[in-house]
Amino acid sequence: MSSLKRPASPTALLVSKPSPYHHTVTLFSEASGSTVGGESALRRSKRVKVEESSGPRSLQVEEQDEEEPRPPTKKPRRVKATPTPSTSAVKFEEIETVIAKTSRAKVKREPSASSPRKPKAIPQSLASPHPAPPDWRDTYDTIKRMRTKIVAPVDTMGCDQAQNKETEPQNRRFATLVSLMLSSQTKDEVTDTAVAKLRDALGGSITVRALIAAEESAVAEAIAKVGFWRRKTQYIRQTAQRLQDDFDSDVPKTVDELCSLPGVGPKMAFLALQVAWNINVGIGVDVHVHRITNRLGWHKPPTKNPEQTRLNLQSWLPTGLHPDINHMLVGFGQVMCLPVGPRCGECELSDGRCPSASKVAAKSRTRKVKTSTSATNPGPKLEIEIEDVKEEMTIPEDLLSPLSEVESTGS
């Protein structure tokens, strides 16, 4: 077996150091910055080649010039060689080398900051329109008539109310968007309180500049009662920054641009355009609209999420009714068609027009007042019965005489 040889290189200076992996092995490397004739020395890569011949096995260390150092992409692999009796004076048991296969290395490219990802377009129509339900107009008009007698939370504390305390049109639009973002998974009463606290925390007006300049803790404290308030704190701050950077600190005018903002979905986008810009391009469908239209049997088969509901409704409901149906059904769902325990006995559609109406008749609200006395308890006992719920209370002795006078006068 021939001894290990390293061809002399006139362009590089070698530096030896002991191998950290075995005490009998010495490693050689080029001195950093070594030059010959004003030119930088080329890096030498070592490759171990095992040659098979008729005689004993031999190892040769080949050198290859490389223009640039390339980082290893695989875990170091151990190459073990067993020496023969004819091995030279330098004996060793194993040599460790790093084999870099740069030709197969895959470089992951990061997206450029100057070219942001294009937002996914929001579908606006179905490939096959959903047929209009029979007698839907009569049902719609009946709900609308019942809504005139109902004052729901959405009527006084809905997202459209947030703009009323702002004077600048730009701030009115932004306050509407913020209110919509906070309203997700939150009751209108809680959202309205959070918007008021946020306005106070920002100095009396909800503006893009004030929200960016405000401390995150101050924003979080103001909206801490809404659902998912930690996430929404991040969303509204990031949205304010996006509006300042990309939309001249104003609310965008398209659904796709609105949905590209953090925490803004299709329902918020359609409602924001209707309230902030008076632009009607679709229906804002929330859990109330999704629940009630399915209870009415307007979707065949029933829809599984609000987006399916929106596309079905937009395919047959007249465009002129798109801005009103959300507000009408949300209030109807908050007071009458409740998620649990709907008040079907008080709904006009329970006459057979609603397939989901409960068959239980409404209990009559009767009130009965009885007075009685007993030998053990001389004081009169007052018994009140309201809807099969009885409450009893005993009248004290000091009230007995006025009662007796009334009875005697009445007789």
Q: Which domains does the chain have, with CATH numbers?
A: 14-101 (no CATH), 136-351 (1.10.340.30), 365-397 (no CATH)
Asked if residue 289 has pLDDT above 70, the reply is: yes
Give pTM, 2 decimals: 0.61
Task: Count the neighbouring beta carbons within 10 Å of the beta carbon of residue 199.
Answer: 20
Residue 140: strand, helix, or coil: helix
Give yes or no for residue 233 having a pLDDT over 90.
yes
> With contact defined as beta carbons under 8 Å apart, do 230 and 220 qualify?
yes
Q: Is residue 168 helix, strand or coil?
A: coil
Contacts of 176 (CB under 8 A, 6+ apart): 159, 160, 162, 163, 251, 272, 275, 276
Annotated catalytic residues are 267
Q: Residue 378: pLDDT above 80?
A: no
How many other C-beta atoms lie within 10 A of the C-beta of residue 226? Answer: 22
Q: For tokens 């932004």, name the residue.
A: 174
The residue with greater pLDDT, 238 or 105, is 238
Contact 77, 48 (CB under 8 A): no
The dihedral of CA 214, 218, 224, 229: what is its sign? Answer: positive
Q: How many H-runs (helices) and E-runs (strands) does the chain carry?
A: 13, 11
Amino acid at 246: D
Report CA-CA distances (Å) from 5 to 36, 62, 150, 186, 408: 22, 9, 97, 77, 132
Segment 74-111, tens digit of pLDDT? 555 555 545 444 444 344 444 444 344 444 444 444 44
- H or E element: which one contains 85? none
Question: How many other CB atoms are found less than 10 A from the CB of residue 168?
Answer: 11
Average pLDDT for residues 25-36, to the nearest whole number?
Answer: 65
Q: pLDDT tens across 315-333, in order? A: 999 999 999 999 999 999 9
Highest mean pLDDT range out of 22-26, 33-37, 202-206?
202-206
**Number of other residues whose CB lies within 10 A of the CB of residue 98:** 13
pLDDT of residue 345: 93
pLDDT at residue 409 greater than cutoff 60: no
